[in-house]
Amino acid sequence: MNLNALTIHQAQDLLRRGEISSLQLTEAVLAQIESLDESIHAFVTVTAAEARAQAQAADARLAQDGVAAPPLLGIPAAIKDVVSTKGVRTTCSSRMLEDYVPPYDATVMEKLNAQGIVLVGKTNMDEFAMGSSTEHSAFFTTRNPWDRERVPGGSSGGSAAAVAADQAIFALGSDTGGSIRQPAALCGVVGMKPTYGRVSRYGLVAFASSLDQIGPFTKDVTDCAIVLEAICGHDPRDATSAPNPVPNWPEALKQDVRGLRLGVPREYFGAGIDPEVEQAVRTAIDQLAGLGVAVEDVSLPHTDHALATYYIIAPAEASANLARYDGIRYGYAAQDAETMWDAYSRTRGQGFGSEVKRRILVGTHALSSGYYDAYYLKAQKVRTLIAADFQEAFERVDAIVCPTSATVAFKIGERIDDPISMYLSDLYTLPGNVAGLPGVSQPCGLVQGLPVGLQFIGKPYDESTLLRLAYAYEQVSGKSYKPALSQGAPH
């Protein structure tokens, strides 16, 4: 038995019955990291010693609590390096924070630590979560476990790759415009962006505050429900945190989907989608219809404006959020400056990478005098129209189904010099962020030996329906998508 290949619920059952220990499970995961990460590069920091100590503590707690133990007790997890972890380096894959060690835990970490997870490491990402391929990390490019010559998606590419490669039983990522769902699709795992406000952002290093949301990467839908339940809940330290109760999502999976209405947005099946990807998604939709789900066409007419709207709002918020990195209080500081303003300029010039600089410049321009009304204010108005499109569709349907990505994983370097082409990678995911809606991606087939993502988008705070649909499809498809991991070199 490859312990590192277990799901949460499989490992949980074995741990509670005493058939395996958390330390054994953790050693198997650490061995997988040791074996594969030289070729995949999923991790910025591996916390092996801390993980073993946490596993031993979990085993002691398991011996005491038995079947009453929390669902995630003793489960090895990886955390995107944008989430604050007390005493563990949190870099955002940026030179600016290369040596930063937070003095506090993010709320999601407090919740996971309370359950007794085992932290095996922090995962690589596009710098400050700005990117769609994890090629914009200041340290190295993460590679897709399915094909080491291809990207894992981004910005949470390290988390997606780690789960796909069995280097963690589950992982956390953040999603500002698709940064959980798109890499989940490209790596063949389950990834969920909860409703904006469902999960506390306290301790999440901010990119775009009105769009960012934390969510899980897992090996199946049941695990997704388990992790989601663990990290959700109101947090008074986050002013955008919703006071909504947390449903029992693992229990919700068992509800029948017969009679649910699914909308297929015609705007998501137009020019630019790979025909084989479209066919895989439409086959999945047909399988759901076979379960008694009603399928109908819907229109989201302002979809064409979503990309431009997002790339005004997100960079504008990034410009404001990243102003704090000035070389004075914490983080990288240029040492060769003569004046304060020179130090400020050199620190930001040397500490930020090219994509972060590009977005800061775009955002600063959009917020500048004379352009605020023309760009930022207008983008906020179009944002309202995009949200209204979804609201109108949800008067007829319970959820929307569409591709997660128009293509399978693209080759490393293929889009790096073409920002517009790279930004189009998130065309089917970012409207959900603009509207603050929940979304989940799961694998629905292979094209050229690479996974295809099926995406469900739901009403605000209706993650239950999305998980029911995803679980129903998972059961009827009857397929498991796992990359061949024996090769250490690109294949």
- Kindly list the catalytic residues: 80, 155, 179
Residue 98 burial (CB count, 10 A): 16
Supply φ then ψ for residue 46, to 5 degrees.
-110, 130
The token duo for 488 is: 């250490």
Pairing type for strands 399-403 and 439-447 reads unpaired
- CA 125 to each of CA 295, 382, 459, 489: distance values in angstroms, whole numbers, following the listed order: 36, 29, 29, 21
**Contact status, residue 162 vs residue 168, Cβ threshold 8 Å:** yes
Judged on CB neighbours under 10 Å (0-12, 13-18, 19+), 264 is middle
Query: Would you list the DSSP string of 368-398?
Result: STTTTIIIIIHHHHHHHHHHHHHHHHTTT-S
Q: At what angle do helices 221-231 and 8-16 cross, to 10 degrees?
A: 80
**Contact status, residue 248 vs residue 71, Cβ threshold 8 Å:** no
Pairing type for strands 170-174 and 214-218 reads antiparallel
In sequence order, what are the residues at sequence separation of 6 or more whose Cβ sits closer than 8 angstroms to the Cβ of residue 486? none
How many residues appear in the chain? Answer: 491
Amino acid at 151: V
Torsion, Cα 41 219 407 207, to 10 degrees, reads -60
The token duo for 403 is: 């591709």
CA-based angle 218:113:437, to the nearest 5? Answer: 45
Report the 3 state secondary structure along 178-224: CCCHHHHHHHCCEEEECCCCCCCCCCECCCCCCCCCEEEEECCHHHH
List of E strands, 184-324: 190-193, 214-218, 261-265, 294-298
